[in-house]
Amino acid sequence: MDTNLNIEEIVKQVLAGMSGQAEKAAPKAPAASAAAIPKTARVAMLTSLEHYDIKEYPIPEVGDDDILVKVEGCGICGTDAHEFKRDPFGLIPVVLGHEGTGEIVKMGKNVKKDSAGKDLHLGDKVVTCMIFKDDPEITMFDLNKQNVGGADVYGLLPDDDIHFNGWFSDYLLIRGGSTVFNVSDLDLNSRILIEPCAVLVHAVERAKTTGILRFNSRVAVQGCGPIGLICIAVLRTMGVENIVAIDGEEKRLEFAKRMGAGNTVNFKDYKGIENLVGAVKEAFGGHLADFAFQCTGSPVAHSNIYKFIRNGGGLCELGFFINGGDATINPHFDICSKEITTVGSWVYTLRDYATTFDFLKRAKGIGLPMDELITHRFPLDQINEAHQTNLRMEGLKIAIINE
């Protein structure tokens, strides 16, 4: 299969749809008038470890290339959890939130179209992807040159005199030079899930470059948090049916089956790696996996994943969004003698973002319970409780919703 051609065709179809050529957009809600925009609004500012303060600031001026968005909702990401607990990026004080969406309430005179060429109007629902830093390597149609790591992201910006820098707020100021997508044809739940889903669309595209991942592949997905569950959903939408999910929580394994996993393995039921490998092999009917996705941030899980893969198989490692520590492997037994083809995946490219809109429509179209990934909803003033709920792993995707 020519992967590059396949991807180009997907993107052409997606961008045609986003331009209104393939799908008629849903009716838009009436736009808020400029008079309805308050003079001040709230942000949830992370001011110390495990503590947000709700602060109020003047709404900033909207420049000729800027967009003011009234925030409707934003998911809590694993990256937010790391920043909440440890501040590994040294951003405090900071307004977090990068899985957000909202409605355009004010636009600069130069703003006409989104990053895919689709018209933008007051009242349109939008998401952001990245803020360019004058880096020509980041392009819409180059999969491998640069991912979002080469750009800034709203929700991971140091505080400044604007303050409305992240989606955990009442409003977000999208500055000129940013990417923005009109997603008015997606409902709120789908829009909140775009960012994490783009992570998995990118991971699966990376996996496809190995030439090993096929319709009839036996695929192991290790880790059934939101990332692993969405991984299963992406695989199902592309036709992969023989999926085994591996996790230590039965509720998550049950949800993995609803997402499309054929069998599950609870690693807590098996003592020792040999017994765990035997369970995975049994779940595949006596075979090891052709391909595996490692979706946890655990070095032990990374060390184990090679054992689940057949000779000549493939691995996509996507679980380490920050430095999670060193993993121990045996290069001879785990990689060389088995000739494992390994790819790493970290976040996404701009093109993956556009592809994700079609993935979400397809996932819902085949009946996958995407909406149920969002298990808890909190108002902005309860953001500390929302983060603690997330840390306790009481749900799947936790979201901040502005009524």
Average the pLDDT over 85-106 and give the result. Answer: 95
Q: Which range, of 47-56, 82-91, 99-108, averages the lowest pLDDT?
A: 82-91
Length of the chain: 403
Please give the DSSP secondary-structure letter assigned to residue 336. Answer: I
pLDDT digits (tens, 9 = 90+) for 162-204: 999 999 999 999 999 899 999 999 999 999 999 999 999 999 9
Does the bond joining 226 to the residue before it have cis omega, within 30 degrees of 0? no
Predicted local confidence at residue 148, as pLDDT: 61
pLDDT at 25 exceeding the cut of 50: no
Predicted local confidence at residue 298, as pLDDT: 93
Average the pLDDT over 95-102 and give the result. Answer: 97
Q: Which of 143, 135, 120, 122 is nearest to 35 (CA)?
A: 122
- Give the Cα-Cα-Cα angle 192, 196, 197 (nearest 5 degrees): 95
Predicted local confidence at residue 15, as pLDDT: 46
Average the pLDDT over 28-33 and give the result. Answer: 50
Average the pLDDT over 55-66 and give the result. Answer: 97
As a whole number, the mean pLDDT across the chain is 89
Band of residue 4 on the pLDDT scale cut at 50, 70, 90: very low
pLDDT at 106 exceeding the cut of 50: yes
Whole-angstrom Cα distance, residue 49 to residue 70? Answer: 27
pLDDT at 255 exceeding the cut of 90: yes
Cβ proximity of 177 and 123 under 8 Å: no
Which domains can be identified in the chain, with CATH numbers?
3-185+369-401 (3.90.180.10), 200-344 (3.40.50.720)
Whole-angstrom Cα distance, residue 270 to residue 316? Answer: 24
**Strand partners of residue 198:** none
**Strand partners of residue 182:** 126
Query: Distance from first CA to last CA of the chain, Å, rounded?
Result: 47
